[in-house]
Amino acid sequence: MSPFRGLERWFEDRWQGAVFFVARTTLRLVTGKRRLAFRKDLRSLVPLDYASHPVKMDIGSPQEWVRTRECEKEPETVAWLEAELRSGDTFYDVGANTGAYSLVAAALLGEEGRVFSFEPGAATYACLVRNVQCNGMSQVVPMPVALCDRTGLVTMHARSEAEGFVSSFEADDACQAVQPSLCYRLDDLIAQLGLPAPSLLKMDTDQTEDLILAGAPQTLANPMLRSILVEVDTGSERCAGIHAVLCDAGFELASNHPHGTKGVANRIYRRSSRDESRTTEVS
């Protein structure tokens, strides 16, 4: 991104923030009923920054606005989806947030494919559903559940109740809300609901990716799963554990894509050619 574009975005964020500040201040002066009506009127459909397909996002807060720039933020994720998705595939978006990459995958797959979007955060899940509905993408199935190494009821800790903020199993000083949530081992969820196995799996769950993999040995062993994109802290023991689990399951590290945040990267794994050959011989 050019420095001029960055400066333009900076000014854009500032004046939009000022508009929202004035709107919030004004809303304090009106009745609750009028406030709710005005909040609904403030929502708008904004294009996702994905030039290849017309995808819209239902925006009603600064947090949701930020999510309309996901393709610029993670071009490697978009390139991975474009290169790996095939007709009839099933894509699992674990930690879907407001659904930007789920919408990109659905646009690429069309009605012949399936997308399962996992987002346990209550406010964010509601936004995910609105984004799916406003694009008329019936092939996307929003799932309000967390994935982990156990099946049961867990407590999620959110850094904000606002849409677009992440939730996690662990509390920290920034947590502002607590929410009970259904939690599944991925293997249990697929078996109990009769879901199709994923062809591609994306995981961005704020440092719980290792727990998700621990609950998915059968999913990892399924030859239908060709490629996995996982966000990791490359300097952590958790990253080394994730790498070991995926290698043991027959995957190879294909590429590493550092983010702006120090130590954080998207890693793309593909099922190794040796594992694919062995699967073909067995079948």
The reply to whether 189 falls in a domain is yes
Supply the CATH number for residue 211's domain: 3.40.50
pLDDT at position 29, please? Answer: 75
Q: Which residue has the higher pLDDT, 249 or 207?
A: 249
Q: Which residue has the higher pLDDT, 60 or 42?
A: 60
Encode pLDDT of 176-211 as tens digits.
677 788 999 999 999 999 999 999 999 999 889 999
Residue-level length of the chain: 283
Question: Whole-angstrom Cα distance, residue 123 to residue 142?
Answer: 13
Question: Whole-angstrom Cα distance, residue 263 to residue 178?
Answer: 28
Could you list the residue range(s) of the whole structural domain that residue 185 is in? 44-225
The reply to whether 264 falls in a domain is no
> Are 104 and 204 found together in one domain?
yes
Whether 5 shows a pLDDT value over 70: the answer reads: no
pLDDT at position 33, please? Answer: 63
> Are 32 and 78 found together in one domain?
no
Most confidently modeled of 34-38, 155-159, 197-201? 197-201
Whether 2 shows a pLDDT value over 90: the answer reads: no
Comparing C-alpha atoms, which of 130, 123, 122, 206 is closest to residue 163?
123
Contact assessment for residue 164 and residue 97, using Cβ atoms and an 8 Å cutoff: yes
Question: Whole-angstrom Cα distance, residue 111 to residue 13?
Answer: 36
The reply to whether 48 falls in a domain is yes
Q: Is 196 exposed, middle or buried (0-12, 13-18, 19+ CB in 10 A)?
A: middle
Whether 256 shows a pLDDT value over 50: the answer reads: yes
> Are 157 and 206 found together in one domain?
yes
Question: Whole-angstrom Cα distance, residue 7 to residue 29?
Answer: 34
Query: What's the domain count of the chain?
Result: 2
Q: Given pLDDT bands bounded at 50, 70 and 90, which one contains residue 19?
A: confident
pLDDT at position 83, please? Answer: 98
Q: Given pLDDT bands bounded at 50, 70 and 90, which one contains residue 163?
A: very low
Distance between first and last Cα of the chain: 47
Distance of CA 181 to the CA centre of its chain: 17
> Are 85 and 199 found together in one domain?
yes
Give the type of residue at 161. Answer: E
pLDDT at position 164, please? Answer: 43
Question: Whole-angstrom Cα distance, residue 47 to residue 259?
Answer: 23
Kindly state the average pLDDT of the residues 161-188.
69
Encode pLDDT of 82-141 as tens digits.
999 999 999 999 999 999 999 999 999 999 999 999 999 888 999 999 999 999 999 999
The reply to whether 243 falls in a domain is no
> Are 32 and 84 found together in one domain?
no
Question: Whole-angstrom Cα distance, residue 92 to residue 118?
Answer: 8
Q: Which residue has the higher pLDDT, 121 or 169?
A: 121
> Are 28 and 52 found together in one domain?
no
pLDDT at position 6, please? Answer: 66
Give the 3-state secondary structure of the chain: CCHHHHHHHHHHHHHHHHHHHHHHHHHCCCCHHHHHHHHHHHCEEEECCCCCCCCEEEECCHHHHHHHHHHHHCHHHHHHHHHHCCCCCEEEEECCCCCHHHHHHHHHHHHHCEEEEECCCHHHHHHHHHHHHHCCCCCEEEECCEEECCCEEEEEEECCCCCCCCEECCCCCCCCEEEEEEEEEHHHHHHHHCCCCCCEEEECCCCCHHHHHHCCHHHHHCCCCCEEEEEEECCCHHHHHHHHHHHHCCEEEEEEEECCCCCEEEEEEEECHHHHHHHHHHC
Whether 51 shows a pLDDT value over 80: the answer reads: yes
pLDDT at position 137, please? Answer: 97
Tokens of 39: 């909040």
Residue that has been written with the tokens 């809303």 in this structure: 27
Give the type of residue at 183. Answer: C
Q: Given pLDDT bands bounded at 50, 70 and 90, which one contains residue 54?
A: very high
Q: What is the mean pLDDT of the chain?
A: 86
